[in-house]
Structure 1
């Protein structure tokens, strides 16, 4: 029975995702994005059938383990457009470095204002990094990798939903601007959205996501501990 549940959860998740993807392609509504609808449908099915998350995850965790290879696969469009990216290397690195610092500090300050405990604070800090790396960072700084994955997904979904509005209001016409914003602000989900705008947008978004992850690893073990000590022990004794 457990084996059948695991198999059903794996292939059922894939089937639901592709059905949601077909629905999104047909109607092109932002709120129908598969990243948003798929989890909702799965949660409803689990509630209606009385299936525990542990039983469901016994098969679905195979998809979670594929996050690492999926992240590496984003390097393909980067390689194809390497000359273009090399040309703008300084601007790209500087903007992503600033974005990473802002993401970490804003997440930390929001958590403090809301009054979250230490585990939740450290789980929220890496929310602007792609899931596999964010979970590792969370583990390093004392957070809960599972909670971090939830925060990352929420950030990615909201970022990809708000992206068209932000692009329109701020008048981001250049592929580099659109791509870097989506990759830095919404990582994997943002990169998927960026490719809907065009290959160059997707390429810059892939670069932003990967570089942001590398920078965030360094910042989380150097800048963040010092910043946390400054705020908690000196500014807010």
Structure 2
């Protein structure tokens, strides 16, 4: 058993089992807060703490799964391709909307850092919270953040976006499918996009588009706004 725990297969197996449990609970309850990713994270943390298993041992296998984050994000371009004509006819509005969303995401975090008097490294780790994990980690490294904190912030932001995004759109009577997709994708990256895809093909496509553009804009925008503010 000890030899098995020290192999990469252990981390991969535990991750898959935990996520399958999360999917089962989510399908049975049909409650947005019971997000499969959130449930799987809680299960894995509880399991590691209960059996006193070192995180480095788990990461031997979990790192293999993390490696596929980039390719998995690229796959989201498929629904976008199906809505290419819609993208071309609304290009300016879409790009402006994503830019405004990125600026709002970064500026709001910078002012919260000042409001709560957070240390530079911790505060700066929260700046890339609204972009996809592979890009967010690189942005965090470049601006002096702590990547592990950034990953947690990205996951929490994504789950909250998936849960609260549709509700907020209904609250403010945002019915345009393009606007809904752009709002969810720009604010809550891939996790939010999974919810946008459930809402409709157009929402999913626009949300998928927002992930890549928001990531690129934040890469250039975050260091600049940090210097200004």
Same fold, TM-score > 0.5, yes or no: yes
156, 159, 162: which one aligns with 2:161: 159
Q: Which residue of 1 aligns with 2:178?
A: 176
Q: Distance in 2 between matches of 1:38 and 1:28?
A: 16
Cα contact 1:183–1:190 (8 A) shared by 2: yes
> Which runs of structure 2 are paired with 1:85-234 in the superposition (5 Å)?
85-221=87-223, 223-228=224-229
Higher relative contact order (CA 8 A, sep 6+): 2
Q: Distance in 2 between matches of 1:38 and 1:47?
A: 14
| Structure with higher helix content | 1
Cα contact 2:101–2:183 (8 A) shared by 1: no
Pick which of 31-40 and 98-107 moved more: 31-40
Cα deviations across residues 152-188 of structure 1 (Å, max 9, x unaligned)? 1111111111123212211222221221111011111
Q: Distance in 2 between matches of 1:167 and 1:18?
A: 30
Q: Distance in 2 between matches of 1:201 and 1:170?
A: 17
Cα contact 1:2–1:55 (8 A) shared by 2: no
Q: Distance in 2 between matches of 1:73 and 1:138?
A: 24
Question: Deviation at 1:19?
Answer: 2.4
Q: Distance in 2 between matches of 1:39 and 1:149?
A: 12
**Structure 2, unaligned runs of 5 or more:** none
Question: Deviation at 1:52?
Answer: 1.5
Question: Deviation at 1:3?
Answer: 5.0
RMSD between aligned residues: 1.4
Q: Distance in 2 between matches of 1:65 and 1:3?
A: 22
Question: Deviation at 1:106?
Answer: 0.6
59, 62, 66: which one aligns with 2:61: 59
Cα contact 2:110–2:226 (8 A) shared by 1: no
Matched, 1:70 2:72: yes
Cα contact 1:13–1:42 (8 A) shared by 2: yes
